[in-house]
A and B are shown apart, each in its own frame.
Chain A
């Protein structure tokens, strides 16, 4: 059905989920499975002297305790491959499938207890006895740069994982003659990903065929498939991997974890079905996080507020192991200048190992930290120059006449950072109007008269989306008249199946309800990259559109033989191929045409017809499509308690052509809620010895329904020239400016006290401490 693009179509996914019939990993029936529980390190840094499983093995229902030594004969390699294959990091930055003689963070998996129930397996975990020789931990990432820091681990005894500089232009000259220079020391931390469904994996061993069938709650099923084959030394034909419903990812499931490969290897070794479901405490200590960054940055401007240059340094906590690359630090560094014209730029980045859980991308992937850094500098500059904060920003935004605009930096893929399109100043103008920026002073006065401290903040963000190099789609019309879309993209709760169905329906003249999207199943499609980088609608959507278009051509060509009409006169409507201008039912159903195209034994096909009613496209793009956002937050702060109340929140986003604005709104709302957590709540704490101190959802807070205000969303839709849909990604983009906008608003509210805020997140206690210290807040609790 044409007209699907831009339709607020209710989601196809919702029916079973609303009835409680969705099938998540832990819902897959596995009556014969052994249940796995991991023995995890209680120490941040220790050598393992001895593992004694005997007491555990003596417990009822415990069937096995598996260590790396047990798995070794069944593995082609014991160390995890680096997830980002073109990384220049040495192979020793990754972890082993299970601990190999030492542990480097609290939570590292050492052994697996397998038992008849999860309860029994956990009993077994408590009974496994391990002798350790503990070592001092490196906890604060800044300590890695001191002389003789503690060794994080013996098998990669280098404090620094990566040290590099990014930049262009002459920053010395830019700063030498600047009328205005502002400087900030910033602390940033974003915490964990925390999908409400934690991770999990089920591996089923089939004796007759010696095949493994695996289900994992992952954002990257194909990556897991290929990595499992590599590490286990498996014939690719012996493994099937599929994702069930995935209860959110947010980055936590954008990695192949040692636990996943350990479970698959164990199932193969024991020739048993094995299931592991992560619990929340394990998620806190075992799933990736975005933790501490320390930024020391300066911005130089002319007297009229024009930016001359930006320079500084960043220390980034990478955790004990690197799973893919230094993605977060790299993204943050390259994205600092964001939507602004910055003629000279230099940033020294050092990513260091610490005895903490590995760091990898959480929704936003370093871009929020970049945004916070830049926007804190912009606020400081506006204050110094006595300019309106919005006016200073507008003055420096990349103007539409400079689009497409290339920043002399490279994205992780090596492609240039090239802003494809967008009108940033127009976005700001519309947003200021909608949020009544100019009327704020009056609102503030009313609040002040009532004894309340009200502030407003603004922040701009730009996010690379639609990360390549490609995504797969196979579109097939079935004889029933239904359409199947197979893709290597990963469905993880965003509504991707509905959006892809809309794109497909638009080309094939059927309703989206007639389309089944089968995602993340390695049996149905051999290539796929999965869910990350706000890429799937852009990349898989483009593949689906091109494949569906090709299928429509096939159907019209075949129909031209069946109804003796010129194929150019044929159109697809309501499930029929028919002559334009005639009723659809006068033509042939797409099912009947597919039934002919599938062939029948011995029967002929017209000479110009290619068999089959399907098409397979791997749409390729090396360029990121850059989406932009601008947010305004209005808050009231209680100077007695440090409590922050978000009074109003207005968001403008340009994500190119929107396929389903209902779903887009949901993504934007969720992104903002995540950003509110990053501004005010989410802090994964460790004590000075390296013990995690926030390992439940009462100590570590996520934004709840009373913390999140009603949000107003606005869109501009500048079609991206980079893909046939004109789309840009959505899922992470609105996470980017939230902490910057809210903390700007808090600082603005507390301006009468001379407050200066230099960290995210910031708690009420830290706000109070700032006020008591007469202004500057910096550093964790």
Chain B
């Protein structure tokens, strides 16, 4: 049931198309989380600073708390729930970046993790050989209160290295 002005939108999220009537004031994270049940995208501030809500919209990272759902009409969206399938299938069912987060202890409570993963997926696509400084700058808009970032940075650097080695001509 809709309580205010609403509009019908279509989103493709993690490869599945959804058509929903949504209130125009709902931000994208509201719709992902509460209308589509994709609660892996987290809200830490709802004012665009913490980065926990970051998703990929048509391949680019964006804060789903700062975008109205109606603005995303027609977009292709990838959330944390869809990351394992990127460039997959992968052995073990997780994207190499997810595996590296586990190996290098890149998450503790896991609340910032959806935004960290989506942001770093974008970085590794744009820059397959980032320096530590570049990784830190890439996630400088994502706050983590638990890890001190070191495990996250190490996971990203190791993933970049592994992906480079996997795709290097023999």
Contacts and interface: CB of A to CB of B under 8 A. Distances in A.
Interface of A: 10-11, 13-15, 17-24, 26-27, 29, 60-61, 116-117, 119-120, 194-198, 245-248, 250, 279-280, 492-495, 662-663, 665-666, 668-674, 696-698, 702, 704-706, 708, 710-711
Interface string B8-32: 0000000000000001011000000
B49 A697 contact: yes
A247 B151 contact: no
Given A493-B110, A669-B148, A663 B47 contact: no
Given A116-B3, A702-B143, A670 B108 contact: yes
B142 interface: yes
B108 A666 contact: yes
B40 A21 contact: yes
B111 A704 contact: no
B150 A711 contact: yes
Interface of A is mostly: loop
B146 interface: yes
Contact of A197 (B38, B40, B44, B81): B44
A119 to B, nearest CB: 6
Interface of B is mostly: loop
A196 B102 contact: no
Nearest to A695: B47
Contact of B145 (A13, A60, A194): A194
A696 B143 CA distance: 13
Nearest to B113: A17
5 closest residue pairs by CB, A with B: A20-B40, A493-B109, A669-B148, A17-B110, A247-B111
B152 to A, nearest CB: 7
A588 B114 CA distance: 44
B109 A246 contact: yes
B159 interface: no
Contacts, number: 184
Given A26-B39, A248-B108, A196 B50 contact: yes
A710 B157 CA distance: 13
A379 to B, nearest CB: 25
Given A246-B109, A666-B105, A196 B143 contact: yes
B56 interface: no
Contact of B137 (A493, A662, A706): A706
B136 A20 contact: no
Interface in B129-150: 132, 135-137, 139-150
A60 B105 contact: no
Contacts of B111: 24, 195-197, 247-248, 493
A19 B95 CA distance: 10
Contact of A666 (B1, B33, B139, B146): B146
Contact of B108 (A194, A494, A672): A494
Given A11-B105, A705-B139, 7 more contacts: A14-B107, A20-B81, A27-B33, A247-B111, A668-B148, A670-B147, A711-B150
B86 interface: no
